Amino acid sequence: MRSARRTAGVAVVTAMSLTGCLGTGRDAEEPGRDPGARPPGGTVGTVDTDRVIARQTFGSPIADGATLEIGIIELRVSGRLAHLTLVLTPRNAGSDQVSVSQLNGRSAPDVALLDTVNLKRHRVVRAGERQLQPHHIFDKVRNGQPNVQTYTFAAPPESVRAVDVSFGQWAPFRNVPVTR
């Protein structure tokens, strides 16, 4: 029984470290560092938020004058999956942190890839009961700052070189290149 608990504990820690759920503890090691501060050079983590392949700014119903800038960093195929990396920058959203649901008029953004070659809509992939995307209510984005989000889909067929990307209530991004 004791070894089963130990094995289960090791499995949980391993799974959490592989999914990025455990912190590195660096915030505690670096006194005076703001844990929420944006790294220099327009990057968040290892993603350069200034290098987008498509960008649009939309009005948001969250507050008068509020906008949401959506930038597509890349749509990259890895094996049988496609990973869409976006940068969301809300402005004048009424508070320091808001949910994507609030920015989208209190509904899920329903992110999808639209394959106009084969007339298919690719929805976010599920792993068990969990969709491979940020939670649209509980995950918050910071007002006035770039916020990176990743969504995972089944990869479009090899013959598809570009797709349209639908995000929320706004007009889709057209002809987003698929990187293989």
User: What pTM was computed for the model?
Assistant: 0.74
Q: Which has more pLDDT, 7 or 118?
A: 118
Q: 164 to each of 53, 64, 88, 127, 147, how far by Cα in Å?
A: 13, 29, 18, 24, 21
Terminal-residue alpha carbon distance, the chain:
47
CA neighbor of 154 nearest in space, from 75, 54, 92? 75
pLDDT greater than 80 at residue 37: no
- Residue with the two structure tokens 């969301």: 88
Share of the chain above pLDDT 90, in %: 67
Per residue in 129-169, pLDDT (tens digit) is: 889 999 898 899 999 999 999 999 999 999 999 999 999 99
pLDDT greater than 60 at residue 11: no
